[in-house]
Structure 1
Amino acid sequence: MVKRLNKTKHVIYLLVALSMLVIALPRISFAGGLDWVNIFGIVWVLFSLLIVGAHLHFILGVDEEKKRALEAVRRAKLRQWEMKLLDKQEQRKSV
């Protein structure tokens, strides 16, 4: 329930950021050289795209996939460590 509400919140934020970008992008003039107004427009668009990307990253669940992959690696390393310990114990018994 909380997870779904959290994703809904991010979808709303994503839509707001996209709508701000769609409304403002045609009004920003990138012609006329590299003055402070154009630099501000470029930086504003880049920050907006960064916000959109961050919300897409969360909505698509990339963090959850990464957590699962890291957990699988952790379990595999734990199994290897246990096998090494068992091998050392068997070597000690055979001596």
Structure 2
Amino acid sequence: MSEAPSPARSGRSGRKRAREDRKAARTGSSKVSQLAFGPLINSYPPLDPLTEEQLEAVHQASLDLLRDGGIEVMSERVRRAFEKEGAKVLEDRDVVLTDP
């Protein structure tokens, strides 16, 4: 009577068989043709996601946020440094308001 292969042995032989199958597929005659190397040419124009006016509006809005909403700063030392440079510090909320 023959014995059934143990799970560890059947797993190894299965991996070996799969590896051999992959190797046989690689060495077959079905090779992928390689395109010639050369510089890539982009035929599309560069993107301009925002106009100058839109970019300026975003910039002004960010400055408004810094002035009106502020930045939450958890470090006492950093809040003191901002205050020394002229920023307004709201101690009750640990917020620094800057006027850029």
TM-score by length of 1: 0.29
TM-score by length of 2: 0.28
Instruction: Report the structure, 1 or 2, having the larger strand content.
Output: 2
Instruction: Report the structure, 1 or 2, having the larger helix content.
Output: 1
